[in-house]
Structure 1
Amino acid sequence: MKEFLFVFRNDYQAVPKGSPEEMQAETKKWMDWIGGIAAQNKLVDRGNRLASEGNTLKPGNVITDGPFMEIKEAIGGYTLIRAESLEDATEIAKGCPIFQFGGSVEVRAINPL
């Protein structure tokens, strides 16, 4: 099996800010989805959410505040999985709860060094 990276992208302004109970329900959807991948023995690393603050370093030592200054869409987190193929990994990604908020999942194969 190969390893694949799921990169979760969304527009932070489009994600609804719910009550604590609604946020807990959303978190449960994510944990259930990740748990389903783990139950198939295809989870490598559940990954993490990424904070909104950060810097981007560009050639010439140019530093911009935040990794997403010019775009609405930002990387919200990542997960590493195992799958037989890109098609299999993409099929697994289809169950991601991020689609409820108009987000996307970038599926990338990992090429070991």
Structure 2
Amino acid sequence: MSNFLYLFRGGEKAYQKLSQEEKQAHMQVWGKWMGGLKEKGQLLDGLPLAEDGKVVHKKGELVTNGPFAEGAEVVGGYLIVSAKDIDEAVEMSKACPIFDYDGSFVEVREIITMDHDQH
């Protein structure tokens, strides 16, 4: 088994247009999907990210507000999942509630383990 990172991109503008009831219902869909992954031992970690932040450049010589990515490029959250390979990780992502919004996608990346004992 390997670990994979899901980066959730896009969907913020469509989500903001929802009523409070629709937002709560959508969060329940997320909870159900993530709960299913957790029950199978496939969900290791994950949380939504704040919309604003800071971008550090040149070892801290320059710190700017950000990130200022556009629309579908904004990373809204992440999950770390366990799967036998990237194909299984992709298959698992297909049920993600982010696909309820046009222009939203999941980037699936394998997390590479580093052996800290070797120098």
Normalised TM-score (structure 2): 0.84
Identity %: 38
| Of 33-42 and 84-93, the range deviating more from structure 2 | 33-42
In structure 2, runs of 5+ residues without a counterpart are 115-119
CA distance in 2 between counterparts of 1:93 and 1:57 reads 31
SS of the residue corresponding to residue 41 of structure 1 reads: coil
Structure 2 equivalent of residue 5 of structure 1: 5
Report the Cα offset of residue 21 of structure 1.
Answer: 1.7
Residues 35-84 of structure 1: CA distance to partner in whole angstroms, max 9, x if unpaired? 11112111111x111111101112373333111x2533200000111000
Normalised TM-score (structure 1): 0.88
For residues 54-73 of structure 1, the aligned pairs below 5 Å read 54-59=53-58, 61-67=61-67, 69-72=68-71, 73=73
SS of the residue corresponding to residue 56 of structure 1 reads: strand
Q: Stretches of 4+ moved more than 3 A in 1?
A: none
SS of the residue corresponding to residue 52 of structure 1 reads: coil
Higher helix residue share: 2
In structure 1, runs of 5+ residues without a counterpart are none
| Of 56-65 and 27-36, the range deviating more from structure 2 | 56-65
> What is the alpha-carbon root mean square deviation over aligned residues?
1.6
Higher strand residue share: 1
